[in-house]
Amino acid sequence: MRRILIVEDNLVNFFVLQEMLNEYELELVRAEDGQQFYGIIKESHDFDVILMDLMLPDTDGIELTKHLIDNHIKIPVVFISAYTERCEEIFDLGVEYFISKPVYKELFLSILKKFVALSKNENYA
């Protein structure tokens, strides 16, 4: 099963992404802050993509992405944030995708498909 790490402190924003992905066979893992992110990444690098919020309670997504780069952890990162003024910093890291909030499902899924094969969940009603 495909795995996605969602780094998002806001529960409502997480639920929005979860709802968009509900119909697909995916395992979603959530990190609410940098501390949880580091713990999850230390335990496993087995993610197809990381959906990264920029602003978190104890750090920011740029620092977390630098951690991945510095430790040669090759998991693609897609930033999802309302803070578009920091796009240049994100692109300077080599991240190719930045989705501005609010997230539009069609755009979101078209970018996600570059990293994850989206198979329909047979149990989805």
Structural domain spans, the chain: 2-112
84-108 pLDDT, tens digit per residue, is 898 999 999 999 999 999 999 999 9
Residue 97 DSSP SS3: strand
- Secondary structure string (H, E, C) spanning 11-80: HHHHHHHHHHHCCECEEEEEECCHHHHHHHHHHCCCCCEEEECCECCCCEHHHHHHHHHHCCCCCCEEEE
pTM of the model: 0.94
41-84 pLDDT, tens digit per residue, is 999 999 999 999 999 999 999 999 999 999 999 999 999 998 88
Structural domain 2-112, CATH architecture: 3-Layer(aba) Sandwich (3.40)
